[in-house]
Structure 1
Amino acid sequence: MSQRPDFEVFVAADGAFAAFEEAVLDAQTSITGGFRIFDMSTPLLSDTARAVGETWFDLLVHVLRRGVRMDLAVSDFDPVYATELHQQAWATVKQGAALVETAGVPATQVRVRALLHPATPGMAPWLAFLPASLRKKRARHAALSRDALAEAPGLSRNLPDLHPVTHHQKLAVIDDDTLYIGGLDLNERRFDTPDHDRPAAQTWSDVQVIVRNDPAVAEAKAHIETFDDVVRGNTPPPPVQRLRRTLSADRRFKLPFLSPRTLVSEIETLHRDAFTQARHLIYIETQFMRSQPMAEALAEAAQARPDLTLILILPALPEPAAFDADDDIGFETRYGMGLERDALRTLRDGFGDRATIASPVQPVLAARETRATLAGSPIIYVHNKVLVQDADRAFVGSANMNGRSLHWDTEAGLLVDSPARVGTLRSALFHHWWRADIARDWTDPAQMQPLWQAEIWRNDVRNPDTRRGFLVSHDARLHEAKGQSLPLATDDMV
């Protein structure tokens, strides 16, 4: 095995996927993974991996033939409301069976599971949703061929269940010494480069880290091996020091409830502690800022400490609102936009001019104005999930700033508190957004927010090819126009 750093940060899939490929190629004994999506037909990127094949399937066959064991858990999804994702999960299971046959290894050497979170709603919400569920199920059956229906086994139930909770984590452990963790699933949709020089709908900013020779590696492996039993109530969550998780289970008494019972909310606790302890700066990159309790906690911290500043980077719009037709933007997306509208108002009220809220765009002029443009340029879609408290502590994982990630879905992330590692992470993040090294005061938690804000304002009025970096001001007007309130809905749904 070649010598590699103990901590690496990747801010797009090209580097992350290549490093993951090489870590798997180095495997001597085992690969243990838990992902929302893991498509083995994803093309390989690194030269060393491409020497053994074209796709992840080829890479895994090569490694399995050396005797490496593989245990992969992917998320299954509600077959009626998330049919394509349900089909993808079972396609991965079939890929796992094909691995065994192609590699010529014992079936006991490979385990690939599609795991459906066991939490289901109580009778009252199930009955309330039943007419819509039956209509959607009939529409799915009418739209799918017989072969496609066979690839969605959950659609065969006469009365559809509701499965509102998923496993949203993205992590893998190789040989008990390497952990790959963050926000990236494995498929072609997640691919992008740090230049984001692609059509807006194909951009994908994300953050993944690799750690080696760290206690978090063993904690992550124990988590992957036990989380299904934990959420089913068969075993307690294993103790952790460096890993942070969200875990939930079915309610014992659930008649009126749509929501599960939260077992572990370590990610929420980490964020709340950071808000309380930060002296100068809270820095967040997130796909969603929809949690009103988190927004209120941040605003309260701002009121208590007049020197506290906020830099928040998020996409201009959620993915369906940015790239789909109006008729295809579902109520859950509009509801999420309404929650984000309210959370951003709370942050602006709490911080005033001490808050910078920004979104990235490409440094080119858009061919035409659409929802996928901002400041006259194509947007860059942000899927990042990062928190940095001053320059002291950080978190990288799979959880967004929404109630679903903090209370419902299975999530996993890494606490980073080594000064050197926090510095490596901050350098990678800041270099990515500004597309260059920046002056020391631009990275000083006590000084950077007003400096970033001033440059972002300048970017708002510059021609795209003269902007500095990717960031412009986030524009909440579309959230105001398209956001929708659902008075009886729980904020944790989206």
Structure 2
Amino acid sequence: MTQKNPQHDDVSCPEFSVLVTAEQAWPAFERAVLEAKNEISASFRLFDFTTKLLSEDARKTGETWAELISDALRRGVRVRLMVSDFDPVMAAPLHAAAQNTLAQAREIASGLAPEAAARLSVTAALHPARAGLLPRLAFSPFVIRKLRKLPRRLRPSAANRSLPQLYPVSHHQKVAVIDRQVLYIGGLDQNHRRWDTTAHDQPAFKTWADVQLLLRGPEAEEAADHLDSFLDDIAGRRLPPARKHIRRTLSVPRRAGFWALSPKTVLREIEEDHLAAFAAARRLIYLETQFLRSSVIARGLADAARRNPELSLILILPGLPEDVAFDGNQELDARYGMALQAEALETVSSAFGSRACIASPVQRRMAARDAPSTLAGSPLIYVHSKALITDRDFALVGSANLNGRSMRWDTEAALRITRQDRIGQLWQALSRHWWQEDLPEEALDPSSAAAWWTQEIRRNQVRRPEARRGLLVPHEPDRMAELQQPLPGATEDIV
């Protein structure tokens, strides 16, 4: 385990930066790595060392992250990276990606002097929670079908002799800490698929709207402690300590799990913070999320709306799930996820009524109207960010979606923000991203923002794409409704 370094060398970075899309986030992250003096500790769902460098200073070390990390190791910086490993049958492509990251790390180490190579530690961590025998048997037809479709070289060796184990949980957080002083946290992994610009002017299937934060302060030390200990926490070797700034979802294996598909949740701080923020909100709840599938979150929003008739909502969602829009996925998991989201949106919309502004981003150009990857006659922009702002006094940015999996199962990390200047900076950056312009006070004031956004978004629906204001159009919850498939008795946390 990494020990605290007694040195406190200055690392120059902005006190607080909101980084929208990889265009802004990756160069800032590269500069932070360049300025590291002692250690870099990180945990990502996916990390590809062949990702191209963007900043001019970083490109002095080479073309890719492999060369940037090699430079840090030669300078005496310790680098510890944990990526998530995945179920080798049910998530074979993701498992292969984790193994590829390990192979890349070995290649990096082979090109270094022994003392520099020794400073690199890269781990593919598989969450220890496993499905019990009963759900393994119940899912066996689906698992065997998946297994038979895998190339023989990707099949787990034990799968040829028995029913494979099922590993339903993963590490979904995206966190890096530089010298225990600088924190990089949000929803953005480090690989080619995540590259996009704030203009989102590439093909729809390549778009990726996301948010990271880069900041200095006590939050970084707290995040470093979390990275030092979360593998012990999820193994059940200790009780996770309380944190003030870093909010987490953590789960452990069940001791008697014959019947259980799910792990045992030990921390659901991110869910708790959302529910508390909804209850305390007076004028506006603003959310950006990849999914809204959690019935708990939906009920929390609905309860807040019913208690306070002056409360409004702005909710930004992708037009369709990524695998449905771009890959044509119509498997049961996708269909169940779509059914859960339709139900959640109905709960929220019924409670808020006209006070809810629910929108999806699209590009300002024409496209085939009947394609899943389009909305309102334009190519989708895929939303992957996870951000909450209530009024001007609370915010949360991290890796957790508003689904049961992120709230209860997967390892997640988010930053709680209560400083009003930082909340204001976040709100300005997120709103400017979607509208592509500085907005009038009416569009930013929590008392009037939802009404202003609703009016302009409805106008965008009837405008020609090139004449639209910003990137948002009304979300269509019934789009491809024929795919929605409820599964009575199934846990909503699985998707």
Q: Considering the TM-score relative to the shorter chain, is it more than 0.5?
A: yes
The counterpart of 2:239, out of the listed 236, 249, 253, is 236
CA contact (8 A) 1:338 1:485 kept: yes
Moved more, 363-372 or 167-176: 363-372
Q: Which residue in the other structure is 1:79 paired with?
A: 88
User: Which residue of structure 2 lines up, in the alignment, with residue 176 of structure 1?
Assistant: 180
- Matched residue, 2:149: 139
- 2:135 aligns to what? 125
Give distance in 2, aligned partners of 1:417 and 1:155.
49
Pairing 1:354–2:324 present? no
Provide Cα deviations, 1:126-181, integer angstroms capped at 9, x if missing partner.
111223323322321xx35x4x66xx778677431001111000010011110000
SS in 2 for 1:358: strand
Bigger Cα displacement from structure 2, 471-480 vs 429-438: 471-480
User: Is the 2:368–2:374 Cα contact (8 Å) retained in structure 1?
Assistant: no
Amino acid at match of 2:219: A
Q: In 2, Cα distance between the equivalents of 1:108 and 1:361?
A: 47
Provide, for residues 33-82 of structure 1, a one-character-per-residue CA deviation record: whole Å limited to 9, x for no partner: 00000100111111111111000001111110011001110000000011
Deviations 1:335-373 (A, max 9, x none): 000000000000111000000100000011115530111
Residue deviations 1:387-431 (CA, integer Å, cap 9, x gap) = 001111100000010000000000001001111100110010010
* Candidates 240, 260, 264, aligned match of 2:263: 260
Is the 1:341–1:479 contact (alpha carbons within 8 Å) kept by the matching residues of 2?
no
Letter in 2 for 1:46: S
Tell me, what secondary structure is at the counterpart of 2:479?
helix
| SS of alignment partner, residue 413 of structure 2 | strand
Aligned mates of 1:153, 1:178 — CA distance in 2 = 42
1:313 corresponds to which residue? 316
2:493 aligns with 492
- Alpha-carbon distance in structure 2 between the residues aligned to 1:466 and 1:258: 50
Say if 1:223 and 1:464 are closer, same or farther in 2 by CA, change over 3 A.
Answer: same
- Matched to 1:389, the amino acid is T
Amino acid at match of 2:183: L
- One-letter code aligned to 2:414: G
Q: Does 1:478 align with 2:479?
A: yes
Rounded Cα–Cα distance in structure 1 between residues aligned with 2:400 and 2:11: 32
| Identity %, equivalent residues | 50
Q: Provide the rounded CA distance (Å) in 2 between the counterparts of 1:257 and 1:247.
A: 17
CA contact (8 A) 2:201 2:363 kept: yes
Q: Deviations over 1:453-482 (max 9, x none)?
A: 011000000001110000000011225322
Residue 191 of structure 2 corresponds to 187
Following the alignment from structure 1 to structure 2, what is the Cα–Cα distance between the partners of residues 211 and 461? 41
- Partners of 1:61 and 1:330 lie apart in 2 by 42
Could you list the runs of 5+ residues in structure 2 that have no partner in the other structure? 1-9
Is the alpha carbon distance of 1:369 and 1:268 closer, same or farther for their aligned partners in structure 2, counting shifts above 3 Å? same
Q: Are 1:298 and 2:301 counterparts?
A: yes
Question: How does 1:56-455 map onto structure 2 within 5 Å?
Answer: 56-106=65-115, 107-140=117-150, 143-144=151-152, 146=153, 158-212=162-216, 214-325=217-328, 328-367=329-368, 369-455=370-456
Q: RMSD of the TM alignment (CA)? A: 1.5
Give the deviation of 1:115 after TM superposition.
Answer: 0.5
Are the counterparts in 2 of residues 287 and 315 from structure 1 also a CA contact under 8 Å?
yes
Partners of 2:111 and 2:23 in 1: CA distance: 27
SS at match of 1:78: coil
Give 3-state SS (helix, strand or coil) of 1:210's partner.
strand
User: Retained in 2: the 8 A contact 1:22–1:48?
Assistant: yes
Distance 2:348 2:315 in 1: 10
2:461 corresponds in structure 1 to 460
* 1:16 positional shift: 0.3
Moved more, 121-130 or 395-404: 121-130
1:478 aligns to what SS in structure 2? Answer: coil
Amino acid corresponding to residue 272 of structure 2 in structure 1: T
SS at match of 1:57: helix
Q: Which moved more, 1:156-165 or 1:21-30?
A: 156-165
1:95 counterpart letter in structure 2: Q
Letter matched to residue 88 of structure 1: A
Go from structure 1 to structure 2 and tell me whether the alpha carbon gap of 1:348 and 1:171 turns closer, same or farther (over 3 Å shift). same
Shift in Å at residue 103 of structure 1? 2.1
